Amino acid sequence: MKDNQSPEIKKYLAKANKDYDRNLSKLESLNWNENLEKKQQILHIEVFQKIDCLDCANCCKTTPTTVNTKDIKRISKYLGISKKQFMRKYVMDDLTGDLVLNFVPCTFLNDDNTCSIYEVRPSTCIKYPLTDDPEFKRRAKWNARNTMVCPASLLVVEGV
């Protein structure tokens, strides 16, 4: 895999690693209310105007992607292979019961950080990093972990 992350993205990732404990403590101590939830939603929009995922793709490079039966049906159809062939070639059980794409970095990640199955990518890829999710406030540890994968998560966590 080519080293194709921008210096800015690398700086965010190094910072997130250094600040993990502080970010987790902050997330665990936040007093969530309606205003803070609104702030989270606004931050999500602002952060993704600032961060270009094509300079990053760190989620695709580092995190096994879960897939569900609808994803499998849609992607195998797009690739012109059967669901069985898709499962055999691209999917494995992660030993907790989840099905995941079987390579990290993701098999479908291109050298220019684009996704070769973008139109039909798994729903987890569409939703990630869930910084606009209403359940964000209930996932302190998960969000803190995400700051070390995703610069957009870091900026939302720093901002709330």
Positions that interact with ligand SF4 (CB under 6 A)? 51, 53, 56-60, 65, 106, 108-109, 115, 117, 121-122, 125, 128-129, 149-152
Shortest Å distance, C-beta 34 to ligand SF4? 26
Structure tokens at 78: 């797009």
Q: Minimum distance between the CB of residue 33 and ligand SF4, rounded to whole angstroms?
A: 26
What does DSSP assign to residue 100? E
Between 17 and 33, name the residue whose CB sits nearer to ligand SF4: 17
User: Minimum distance from CB of 35 to ligand SF4 (Å)?
Assistant: 25
State which residue, 33 or 85, has the beta carbon closest to ligand SF4: 85
- How many other C-beta atoms lie within 10 A of the C-beta of residue 95? 7
Judge whether 100 and 92 are in contact, CB under 8 Å: yes
Q: Which is nearer to ligand SF4, 12 or 27 (CB)?
A: 12
Is residue 153 a contact partner of residue 143, using CB atoms and an 8 Å limit?
Answer: yes
Give residue 55's identity as a one-letter amino acid code. D
**Which residue's CB is nearer to ligand SF4, number 29 or number 69?**
69
Q: How far is the CB of 141 from ligand SF4 (least distance, A)?
A: 18
